[in-house]
Amino acid sequence: MDRMTAMETFVTVVDAGSFSGAARRLKLGQPAVSKSIAQLEEHLGARLLLRSTRGLTPTDAGQRFYEHARRAIDEADQAEQVARESSDGLSGRLRISAAVTFARLHVLPALKIFLDQHPKLSVDIILDDRSIDLLEQGVDVALRMGTLDDSTMTARRILRGRRLVVGTPRYFAEAGIPMTPAELSRHQAVVYSLRGGGESWSFSSSDGSEVAVTVSGRVAVSAAEGVRTAVLGHMGLAVASEWMFSPELADGTVQAVLTQWTLPPIDVWAVFPSGRMATSKARAFVAFVEQLFGRHSGSTQVDPASTFVD
């Protein structure tokens, strides 16, 4: 019995949830898959899978074996990749997950530079403001905003940027310009309902005083693209990261107000699948994003004190 092949077969069976599904993925006959699992269980002297009419589920021993086998396979794949890259450069496919607006405004326009640097590399980019399961989706690295919900993830903070209160000149001409945070309660707010958003906005002044304001508005959205569209449509003001409106702030289409007050900053994290080593491709892409923002002018900067969560 080839132990590595048996481990790969077992991991594929668990991921697929059935012998037939694993057989299709491995391009093998189902009897061959079943025989491989039986030989592995005999070799280990332990039942790894429970079989029922509803499918296959790992036993306690099977779940522990799965986690270690998955890690061993990933490390073996990484070793092979490092050996290839040492003489051949980055190659294969890199799968990235990123927030829609951040990627559209800042990553995708510069992506050709990264691809030109690595001509044998291809990329798949999943654009989604929500957090997705990186292992399930086969993602090598995700770019996520704000506070990370899962402290078990392996992550690196790569950027820290300002949040601003923004609106269009037309909106402020009609509704007035707020001079203090308290005046925001009289304005129409575009509320972002995902991570880092909500109706409570907290401000700090230069003298250290703090104030929290509850806002309201007729428009609430669950994606950053919706915030942009609503603000640019003169429907209200919003709290947004500086990079979400950087083109419009530069040309005056959008204005920042209450700039003497400070909102909590927003972080951009590079997040890697739990239990896996970051691939060379993923590390190269993260370095590219850091360099990209390091070349930009303005207050959005690379945070030199990058943080790892493990």
Model pLDDT, residue 196: 58
The DSSP code sequence of 224-247 is HHHHHHHHHTTS-BEEEEGGGGHH
Domain 163-264 CATH superfamily: Periplasmic binding protein-like II (3.40.190.10)
Residue 79 near residue 278 (C-beta atoms within 8 A): no
Assign a CATH topology to domain 3-84. Answer: Arc Repressor Mutant, subunit A (1.10.10)
User: Do 3-84 and 89-161+267-309 have matching folds?
Assistant: no
Of 53, 63, 39, 32, nearest to 24 by C-alpha is 32
Where exactly are the structural domains of the chain? 3-84, 89-161+267-309, 163-264
Specify the amino acid at residue 172.
F
Residue 43 near residue 81 (C-beta atoms within 8 A): no
Model pLDDT, residue 154: 80
89-161+267-309 has which CATH code? 3.40.190.10
The DSSP code sequence of 127-163 is E-SS---HHHHT-SEEEEESS-S-TTSEEEEEEEE-E
Instruction: Give CA 248 to chain center in angstroms.
Output: 25
pTM value is: 0.63
Give the residue carrying structure tokens 């890690």: 71
| Cα(225)–Cα(230) distance, integer angstroms | 9
- The stretches in the chain having pLDDT less than 70 are 53-54, 78-89, 149-153, 194-197, 275-277, 295-310
Model pLDDT, residue 175: 96
